[in-house]
Amino acid sequence: MLVSELKNILSTIPDEAVVVMSSDGEGNNFSPLSSYTHKDIMYVPETTWRGDIWSEEDEREWDGDIPDDAEVAPPTSAVKCVILWPTN
C-alpha cells in the first residue's frame, strides 16, 4: 500500500478513532500504534509478503570497514517507506 492510498482511507475515518495494528494477517493479536519511522530508511522486499529494512546508518554499523566519507548505496530493490511500530 502506498502512503497516498493510506491517506485516502484515513480521510474517511473519524479523527478520534484509535489506530490499532494486527500482529499478523490472521488477526491473532492487536496492539495500539506507538510510533513511526520514515526518515533515511528503505524497505527491501525479499518476497511479495516479506522483506527487511535498510538504512545507510545501519549499513555502516554492520560493516565497520566502510569509511565515514564513502557513499553507501541501498540495494536496487529498496523503496522509500514508513514503518508503523506497535506498542507491543
pLDDT tens digit sequence for 7-54:
999 999 999 999 999 988 888 899 999 999 988 899 999 999 899 988
Residue 56 DSSP SS3: helix
pTM of the model: 0.73
Residues contacting 32, CB < 8 A, separation 6+? 18, 19, 20, 21, 86, 87
With contact defined as beta carbons under 8 Å apart, do 37 and 83 qualify?
A: yes
CB neighbours of 56 closer than 8 A, spacing ≥ 6? 40, 72, 74
| Residue pair 41/81 in contact by the 8 Å Cβ criterion | yes
